[in-house]
């Protein structure tokens, strides 16, 4: 069994630590945070401290990132598997579609999907999705293209290996190959791709929420900053912006460290 690089442990520990901290500080014991926050109360939410809002927002942002990252990775895997199993024109067109999705910025497409989703929810056709679910689905619909391209290329490479050719020569079907031979080789790669989607989803959500397009309640980090940005400009909101910014940076740093450290291992596999 190969050792997991130290860099990956550091990244995962950072992510886990931030998750536990935001759960405890932002959700379980918010009153402790409110009474000890050195940054004082928020200028636009006078009844809440800056720490409460930042850590509460971190918990929401992290939850959205994990759910959307997981869903987009799963969708990408499914699309890549279906494309490779069918092959030919279907595979070509699916990959063209993925390229088209990939060319557009996440933020722009998420804004359009939020507009569409909110209109459906308002008309009572939202399939029970709230703001959280709507954001997760929007981010997953945007984020599947990258993982699909990565997984499809990886599957293509793996299928050129001798053990796959041998299994095919022995009469193994496409599904058998995928389940028994390809999936075990692909599995560690999935974690790296998931971790690489995590910061992208969090940043896209933050920006869209900052614009006030998503109606996230409780507030995510982006919505927290977006609800009061005009006041922040005039009141010198550095003490409000910097904690939220640092939490975002640490979150992205953790996911990036773990993702980068795990990706080369899987290439060597």
Partner 1 sequence: MRQLLVRLGRQLALVPIVALASYFLMASLPLTTEDDSKRQVSPELAASYRRDLGVGEPLGFLRPWQKLFRGERLGTSAQGVTGDELLLKLSGSVGVGLVALVLALLWALTFALLKNRWRRGRLALLGDVIPAMAFGTPVFIPALLLAPSVVERGSLLPELSAALVISIWPGVFLGTLLGDALETELARDYVRTAASKGLPPGVVLRRHVLPNVLPALLDAIGPVATALLAGSFAAERVFGLPYFGQLYVLAVLQKQVAVVVVATTVFASVLAVVGLAVEGVRLIVDPRAREDRT
Residue ranges binding partner 1 (CB under 8 A): 96-97, 99-100, 103-108, 111-112, 114-116, 118-120, 122-123, 125, 199, 203, 206-207, 210-213, 222, 225-226, 229, 232-234, 236-238, 241, 244-245, 248-253, 256-257
- Residue closer to partner 1, measured from CB, 109 or 178: 109
Distance CA 247, CA 244 (A): 5
CB of 180 to partner 1, least distance (A): 35
Which residues have a Cβ under 8 Å from the Cβ of 68 and sit 6 or more positions away? 135, 136, 139, 140, 143, 197, 201, 205
Distance CA 4, CA 253 (A): 18
CB of 6 to partner 1, least distance (A): 14
With beta carbons less than 8 A apart as the criterion, state whether 66 and 136 touch: no
- Residue closer to partner 1, measured from CB, 82 or 253: 253
Distance CA 240, CA 229 (A): 10
Strands (E), the chain: none
Indicate the Cα dihedral angle 50, 256, 259, 70, nearest 10°: 40
The length of the chain is 269
Distance CA 240, CA 20 (A): 22
- Residue closer to partner 1, measured from CB, 9 or 211: 211
Coil, helix or strand at residue 49: strand
CB of 99 to partner 1, least distance (A): 7
CB of 124 to partner 1, least distance (A): 9
- Residue closer to partner 1, measured from CB, 22 or 118: 118
CB of 108 to partner 1, least distance (A): 6
Distance CA 196, CA 255 (A): 7
CB of 221 to partner 1, least distance (A): 9
CB of 86 to partner 1, least distance (A): 21
- Residue closer to partner 1, measured from CB, 185 or 250: 250
With beta carbons less than 8 A apart as the criterion, state whether 157 and 266 touch: no
- Residue closer to partner 1, measured from CB, 32 or 100: 100
Distance CA 94, CA 42 (A): 48
- Residue closer to partner 1, measured from CB, 56 or 222: 222
């Amino acid at each position: 069994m190969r050792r997991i690089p130290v860099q990956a442990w550091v990244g995962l520990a950072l992510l886990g630590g931030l998750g536990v901290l935001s759960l405890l500080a932002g959700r379980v014991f918010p009153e402790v945070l409110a009474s000890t926050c050195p940054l004082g109360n928020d200028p636009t939410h006078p009844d809440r401290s800056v720490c409460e809002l930042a850590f509460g927002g971190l918990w929401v942002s992290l939850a959205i990132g994990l759910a959307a990252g997981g869903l987009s990775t799963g969708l990408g895997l499914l699309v890549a598997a279906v494309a490779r199993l069918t092959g030919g024109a279907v595979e070509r067109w699916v990959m063209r579609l993925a390229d088209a999705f990939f060319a557009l910025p996440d933020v722009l497409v998420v804004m359009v999907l939020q507009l569409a989703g909110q209109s459906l929810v308002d008309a009572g056709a939202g399939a029970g999705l709230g703001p959280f679910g709507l954001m997760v689905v929007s981010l997953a619909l945007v984020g599947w293209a990258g993982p699909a391209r990565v997984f499809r290329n990886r599957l293509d490479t793996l299928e050129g290996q001798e053990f796959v050719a041998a299994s095919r020569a022995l009469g193994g079907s496409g599904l058998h190959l995928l389940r028994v031979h390809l999936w075990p080789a692909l599995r560690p790669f999935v974690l790296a791709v998931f971790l690489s989607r995590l910061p992208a989803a969090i940043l896209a959500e933050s920006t869209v929420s900052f614009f006030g397009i998503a109606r996230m309640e409780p507030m995510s980090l982006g919505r927290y900053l977006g609800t009061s940005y005009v006041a922040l400009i005039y009141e010198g909101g550095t003490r409000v912006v910097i904690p939220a910014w640092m939490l975002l940076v640490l979150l992205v740093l953790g996911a990036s460290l773990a993702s980068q450290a795990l990706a080369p291992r899987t290439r060597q596999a």
